[in-house]
Amino acid sequence: MQPSLDISQNKSLLWLMAIACGLCAGANYYAQPLISSIQEYYQVPESQVALTVTIAQVSYALGLLFIVPLGDMLNKTRLIPLLMFGAALGLLICAMATNLPMLWIGTMLAGLFSVAAQILIPLATMAVKPEKTGEVVGFLMSGLLVGILLSTSISGLLSELFHWKTIYALSSMSLLVLGVYLKGQLPNMPRMRLTYGVIFKSMGLLLREEPRLLLRSLIGACAFAAMSMLFSTIALLLTQQPFFLSDVTVGLVTIVGVFGALSTRFIGRWADRGYIKQLSWMGGSLLAGSWLFLYFGGMFLISYILGYALINLGLAIIHSCNQNVIFQLRPDAKSRLNSIYMTLYFVGGACGSALGVYAWHHGGWKMTCLFGLGLALGAILFIMLDQWQQSRIRTQH
């Protein structure tokens, strides 16, 4: 369906949507550098505080599975601000939490409703010309990825300067104000007359009828799992011998990933021109090659920084290509497609985090790099299968 409104021409709205994506996604990562400060504030075991990170991830995954599909059933223009208000409420509860269980409740609400970003992106694809889809998705993904990357460093910095609750209060107010403004700016798009049960039944059918959706989801899952191994081990490596970096400095190291995040708009533009195959191979190669730099990064900080930048760039390329592909499979089911893709994507991320911790405790940095390379090769294997499947389809036609 040709959109009646092309929001690619509305730069201010696109910027606000990208910022909203970044704020929503970043809300799930604030606690990561604050574990010791929260533990000291509540005087509870560190293992209990670490559950805050897990609660954020699990609640976000539940939101991806159970809330994002509603984008194909309800009015996205009303649903998105409502979810942003819910996330703002969760963050406000975190800022006012007088005990750890209260912090967990706020974290759960923030994680559950911060999936607003994953409904914003399908909405954008419905409100642009088809040839602009990749560019617009890439631009919004830049905001989302930058939000994730900056969330940990900013929360750590504000904790050092003021208080660990500062980031929650500021983020809550920002989401509330932005949600109110977007409510009157987002384009109205038609919705389908579907029930919740039909939505979930159709998601199963989509997986069976669209094999490329599953393959692209597995590519993303392996790629994000490789990246998540770094998320789970970066502090373990860089705060110990031979680096002994502070928490704030560790956060600064991750900023190099912003260059990869900012590249997604340009990647999307090339994807729109039909270079999905070439870009996918480039992303897979960067993903695998980054682990060579990361391996030597166990001894040389500059090598680690280069590897971290390359893996972020590789992930950004793969993720942009994946979303460009899946959003063109079924124009009438974009929220459901995104729900399936992002759920598997974050399941991969959770598995990668667990593998990273396991590898570190059983074989140190060498085993971590070996596991990471294995996941990158897994992504390349699924890229090969995707290309083989597309070649067969072209041959048949």
Residues 331-352 have pLDDT tens digits of 778 878 888 998 899 888 878 8
Q: Do both 210 and 281 map to the same domain?
A: yes
pTM equals 0.81
For the stretch 212-247, pLDDT in tens is 999 999 999 999 999 988 877 877 788 788 888 776
What integer best gives the mean pLDDT of the chain? 87
Last residue of a domain, one of 142, 176, 193: 193
* Predicted pLDDT at 87: 96
Residue 46 placed within a domain: yes
Q: Do both 184 and 211 map to the same domain?
A: no
- Whole-angstrom distance, CA of residue 165 vs CA of residue 51: 17
Residue 2: pLDDT above 50?
no
Q: Do both 327 and 249 map to the same domain?
A: yes
Residue 44 main-chain phi, psi, to 5 deg = -125, 165
Q: Do both 164 and 203 map to the same domain?
A: no
Q: Do both 89 and 229 map to the same domain?
A: no
Q: Do both 129 and 144 map to the same domain?
A: yes
Residue 3 placed within a domain: no
Residue 375 placed within a domain: yes
Residue 1 placed within a domain: no
Q: Do both 188 and 198 map to the same domain?
A: no
Cβ neighbours, 10 Å, residue 336 = 25
Ranges 27-36, 159-168, 210-219: which has the least confidence: 27-36
pLDDT classification of 1: cutoffs 50, 70, 90: very low
**What range does the domain containing 258 cover?**
194-397
CATH number at residue 306: 1.20.1250.20
Number of domains in the chain: 2
Q: Do both 331 and 247 map to the same domain?
A: yes
pLDDT classification of 96: cutoffs 50, 70, 90: very high
Last residue of a domain, one of 161, 193, 225: 193
Residue 369 placed within a domain: yes
Q: Do both 62 and 92 map to the same domain?
A: yes
* Predicted pLDDT at 5: 59
* Predicted pLDDT at 54: 77
Q: Do both 171 and 313 map to the same domain?
A: no
Ranges 24-28, 48-52, 250-254, 390-394: which has the least confidence: 250-254
Residue 384 placed within a domain: yes
Higher pLDDT, 39 or 85: 85
Last residue of a domain, one of 193, 213, 237: 193
Residue 254: pLDDT above 80?
no
pLDDT classification of 23: cutoffs 50, 70, 90: very high
* Predicted pLDDT at 247: 64
Q: Do both 314 and 343 map to the same domain?
A: yes
Q: Do both 264 and 218 map to the same domain?
A: yes
* Predicted pLDDT at 121: 86
